[in-house]
């Protein structure tokens, strides 16, 4: 596989290179791609060095697959150009996710929707991926009616500029701001831009993408997304109302038996998921599983995952692995 990583110098791009190497994705040639300012920069991958090229050069080099994480505008303009050249694109931005002609894929849930004709495949939003990973097996068993989710999101979700802002604030240095407000010692209830309905785009992604991935537009999802000064991953407090009643121990067992999920839920040993320990892990961690005693058929739980891994790079590469294993590239 000749693999282009578009956005190779960014936060997701860097993790993408690590995950490609760790999972031994069969890369015969790496084509790192970034903006003009990075062209010529050297990127190390598996004992070799590769020079960053621009998007036009990358299309002309005709890789087999291009993994995009360079922002929505780049994807909107360039993914179709790659696709027209016969290159399969897996895109991390929000550009194509809700396009009815594009598939939105979490491999453990719906990779079976992919065909050879899918030339641009959308990777879901990071907060959505970890949420649906836990919702999908429970929806199958108990039928979800409504989900209330509050997120506690890592600054790594905003990219390198946000990590720099927190570092500057921590060290008392004045610098460029990724957020409108100080993030150090703060919680900002504002992820992505505001929409006319008073929600943020991030909150509506949780609603709309969940329905698309679970292929069920009767599921109601309402979200509040909050940025916190954490780097290891996103956390989510989730309240789920089911059509049918459940047994909490069975819920725990279902989640424990779901590939990609790790249950960390033992109150005697104070075992529960935390972003500090989720960092650099590919799994989605679930804990604090308990009945909502205020309402029937309703469950509370706490979900944590590294947004740069399962929320972005790992999921993208799992999609590419599925395409490869099922001969759907080219």
Ligand X SMILES: NC(=O)c1ccc[n+]([C@@H]2O[C@H](COP(=O)([O-])OP(=O)(O)OC[C@H]3O[C@@H](n4cnc5c(N)ncnc54)[C@H](OP(=O)(O)O)[C@@H]3O)[C@@H](O)[C@H]2O)c1
Enumerate the active-site residues. 126, 234
Minimum CB distance to ligand X smaller for 142 or for 311: 311
CB of 157 to ligand X, least distance (A): 4
β-sheet bridge partners, residue 139? none
Strand partners, 48: 45
Q: What are 115's two structure tokens?
A: 């065909």
Of 9 and 151, the one with the shorter C-beta distance to ligand X is 9
Q: Which residue is nearest to ligand X (CB)?
A: 10
As a whole number of angstroms, the distance between CA 38 and CA 158 comes to 20
* Nearest CA among 189, 180, 181, 72 for reference residue 125: 72
Nearer to ligand X, 37 or 185 (CB): 37
- We find the least distance from the C-beta atom of residue 19 to ligand X, in angstroms, to be 13
CB of 137 to ligand X, least distance (A): 23
- Smallest separation (angstroms) from ligand X to the CB of 174: 21
Tell me how many degrees the CA angle 160-178-159 measures, rounded to the nearest 5.
25
Can you give the binding site for ligand X, defined by CB under 6 A?
Answer: 7-13, 34-35, 37-38, 55, 69-72, 74, 92-93, 126, 156-157, 159-160, 307-308, 311-312
- Does 252 appear as a known binding residue? no
218 is in an annotated binding site: no
97 in a labelled binding site:
yes
Strands 42-45 and 48-51 come out as antiparallel
Which residue lies nearer to ligand X by CB, 34 or 214?
Answer: 34
23 is in an annotated binding site: no
Q: Which residues contact 204 (CB under 8 A, 6 or more apart)?
A: 195, 197, 223
161 is in an annotated binding site: no
> Please, what is the minimum distance in Å from the beta carbon of residue 156 to ligand X?
6
> What is the signed CA dihedral for 50, 54, 58, 61, rounded to 10 degrees?
-70
Indicate the residue among 95 and 238 with the shorter CB distance to ligand X: 95
Residue 134: count of CB within 10 angstroms of its CB: 27
Q: Which is nearer to ligand X, 98 or 290 (CB)?
A: 98
Distance of alpha carbon 176 from alpha carbon 264, whole angstroms: 38
Q: How far is CA 253 from CA 147, 257, 284, in A?
A: 20, 6, 15
- The span from the CA of 200 to the CA of 222, in Å, is 11
The verdict on whether residue 151 carries a ligand-binding annotation is no
Angle at 150 between CA 242 and CA 306, to 5 degrees: 105
Q: In the bound complex, what is the minimum distance in angstroms from residue 76's beta carbon to ligand X? A: 11
- What whole-number distance in Å separates Cα of residue 280 and Cα of residue 233? 9
- CA separation for the pair 149, 40 (Å, rounded): 43
For residue 105, say whether it is annotated as part of any ligand binding site. Answer: no
Which residue positions form the known binding site for substrate?
A: 153, 227
Which residue positions form the known binding site?
A: 9-12, 37-38, 97, 153, 227, 307
Which residue positions form the known binding site for NADP(+)?
A: 9-12, 37-38, 307
Which residue positions form the known binding site for phosphate?
A: 97
């Amino acid at each position: 596989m000749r693999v282009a990583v578009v956005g190779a110098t960014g936060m997701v791009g860097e993790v993408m290179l690590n995950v490609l190497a760790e999972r031994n994705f069969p890369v015969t040639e790496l084509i790192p791609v970034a903006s003009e300012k990075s062209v010529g920069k050297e990127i190390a991958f598996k004992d070799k060095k590769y020079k960053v090229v621009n998007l036009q050069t990358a299309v002309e080099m005709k890789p087999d697959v291009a993994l995009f994480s360079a922002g929505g505008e780049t994807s909107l303009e360039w993914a179709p150009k790659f696709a027209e050249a016969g290159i399969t694109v897996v895109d991390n931005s929000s550009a194509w996710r809700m396009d009815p002609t594009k598939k939105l894929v979490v491999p453990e849930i719906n990779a079976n929707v992919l065909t050879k004709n899918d030339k641009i495949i959308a990777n879901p939003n990071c907060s959505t991926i970890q949420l649906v990973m836990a919702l999908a097996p429970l929806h199958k068993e108990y039928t979800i009616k409504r989900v209330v989710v509050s997120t506690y999101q890592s600054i790594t979700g905003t990219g390198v500029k946000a990590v720099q802002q927190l570092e500057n604030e921590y060290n008392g240095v004045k610098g460029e701001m990724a957020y409108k407000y100080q993030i150090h010692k703060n919680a900002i209830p504002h992820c992505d831009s505001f929409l006319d309905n008073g929600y943020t785009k991030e909150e509506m992604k949780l609603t709309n993408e969940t329905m698309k991935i679970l292929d069920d537009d009767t599921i109601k999802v309402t979200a509040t997304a909050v940025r916190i000064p954490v780097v290891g991953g996103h956390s989510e407090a989730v309240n789920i109302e089911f059509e049918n009643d459940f047994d909490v121990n069975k819920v725990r067992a279902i989640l424990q038996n779901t590939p990609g999920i790790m249950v960390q839920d033992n109150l005697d040993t104070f075992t529960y998921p935390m972003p500090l320990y989720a960092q650099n892990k590919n799994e989605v961690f679930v804990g604090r599983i308990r009945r909502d005693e205020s309402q029937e058929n309703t469950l509370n739980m706490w979900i944590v995952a590294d947004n740069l891994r399962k929320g972005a790079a790992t999921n993208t590469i799992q999609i590419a692995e599925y395409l490869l294993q099922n001969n759907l590239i080219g």
